[in-house]
Every structure is written in C-alpha cells, then in structure tokens.
Amino acid sequence: MENLSHALYMAAAMFAFVLAFSVALVLVNKLDAAAETITYKLDGSYYDSFSLERILGNNNDNSNRSRVVGLDTIIPTLYRYYKESFAVKILDVDGTLLQYFDTTTEGDVNAAKVTQERTTATSDRAEILKRSKQKALLSLYDVGDTTVPQHCCYMFGVPWLANINKDAKTRVDMYINGGKGYINNVLVDYSQPIGQHDSRLVSLNNFQDRKFREVFTQYAYEGDTVTNDENEIVTLTGSKQIATKIIIIYQLLPIS
C-alpha cells in the first residue's frame, strides 16, 4: 500500500512537471510572437520594403513593383542606407532628383572631388578620360560652390564620409528635420523654406502630408557590363564580376 502511495505521488509530480513545462512553452511562444509584433509595429515599413529586395533579380516582373507610402516608411529607410547595401533616391513630382543617399556614389564623388583639386597637366589619354568622367560626376551631383543658388548640393562635398556612421546619421537628421550645421567643417543646410529656394535644400519634414510612390531597382557599381535602352544590365562582357546595389526610389505624388 505504501509503495502504491509513493507511485501515485511520483505520477502526480510528473504530471505537474509536464503541465508546467507545457505552460512555459506556450508562454515563451506567445512572448516571442508579441515581441515580433511589437518590432513590426515599430518599424513595419522596413520589413515591408525589404521583402521586395529579396525577390528583386529573381523575377523581372517584380522589379517594377511599387506602392504608395508616406514619411513613416521613408524615414526608417534613410537611417539604414549607410549601414546596409542599398541606396535611396528621392524625386520630385516631375522626376527631378531631390536627394541621393548612396555610400558608393558618395565615395566616388568624394574621390573625384579630391582628384580634381589636385590635378596637374597631363597628356595621358586614359587619365584625361578618367578626369572627364570625374568632372561629369561632380557636375551631376552639384558638388560646387554652395553659395551659388544653381549649385545647391545633393551631397555637399560628402563630408560625412569622414565618420560614416555618426556623420551620415547627422545628415539624415538634418534632412528630415530641416537642420543646418557643419559636418566635418562643411556647411550642410536643409533649413530653407519650401517654395522660396531650390527644393533640394528643403527638408523632408515639409512633405509630412504628402504621399510618395516607392519603386525598387538596381544598378551596377562594379564589373564589365552591357546595358539596354532602359539602362538595365543584360550581360557580362569581361572577367570582372558584376557588383550591384539596390536603389529604393521615392517619387513625390501630385496633390490629389
């Protein structure tokens, strides 16, 4: 009889342990689901956006997918451009480039700026071609005299490359909030009132109530390639492998 009592106690204890363990697993799963939900709610736009990146290149039809978004999607994306391998372009309603965030292009612009400042006379054809391309790059992104209205910079000479994590974040902060200040001894100014100055110097905060169309595309920043009329990479022409970068384009939509 005593042995039977001990057996019942052991069985009851085992049942209690199994029940407690099962409840613990359920609670852990619910906690994990809750944490994932909270993370998504806090930064859902990031996960939504980058679900498109994962399919880009695997299905050409998907590369043209787009959606309408607001600043709640654009802002967290900007804070990741300098940490992740993607670029961000912000376009006006007519397609005019307002801002370009891309560490690869920023590096190229900075290198071209340094080279142009140190140029000496040369008759070498390759060097002349290189300088010509660099000059075109500087002209394209308006790295010039910021005191001249038509030279309102996209990149301000790329001073944030000195400390990419800290200074690039400062630039993003200024662009979003309309700040003005020095980054690595270069004046960066996004404080201009909308409608009175070049829209490239207007902060993103001015478009709080506006919508943008988000589109994903890509470009090759390294490698030997051939492109078609739409500037899409179609083939490899040399031994150097293609290195590509995702571009997330946000184009301002007209006021409806």
pLDDT in tens, 224-253: 555 555 555 555 555 556 677 899 999 999
Tell me: pLDDT of 112 over 50.
yes
Domain count, the chain: 2
| 83 and 207 both lie in a single domain | yes
Tell me: pLDDT of 45 over 80.
no
Q: How far apart are CA 84 and CA 204, in angstroms?
A: 21
| 78 and 194 both lie in a single domain | yes
For residue 245, the cross-strand partners are: 219
Q: What is the mean pLDDT of residues 6-12?
A: 67
| 102 and 130 both lie in a single domain | yes
| 40 and 77 both lie in a single domain | no
Residue 1 covered by a domain: yes
| 77 and 20 both lie in a single domain | no
DSSP class of 223 = S
pLDDT-above-70 percentage for the chain:
60
Residue 77 covered by a domain: yes
| 199 and 98 both lie in a single domain | yes
pLDDT in tens, 48-86: 333 333 333 334 444 457 889 999 999 999 999 999 889
Last residue of a domain, one of 14, 33, 55: 55
For residue 50, what pLDDT is reported? 37
Residue 237 covered by a domain: no
| 112 and 40 both lie in a single domain | no
Virtual torsion, Cα 13, 19, 22, 24, nearest 10 deg: -80
Q: Which residue has the higher pLDDT, 25 or 37?
A: 25
Tell me: pLDDT of 190 over 70.
yes
Tell me: pLDDT of 24 over 80.
no
Provide the sign of the torsion angle of the four alpha carbons 20, 26, 31, 34, taken in this order. negative
Kindly provide the b/e burial profile for residues 23-37, where b requires at least 16 CB atoms within 10 angstroms of the residue's own CB: eeeeeeeeeeeeeee
pLDDT in tens, 125-165: 777 777 777 888 887 887 765 555 555 678 888 899 888 89
Helix (H) or strand (E) holding 38: helix 2-55
| 79 and 51 both lie in a single domain | no
Range of the domain at 113: 67-214+248-252
Residue 241 covered by a domain: no
Lowest-pLDDT range of 23-32, 61-70, 82-91: 23-32
Residue 229 covered by a domain: no
Q: What is the mean pLDDT of residues 2-21?
A: 67
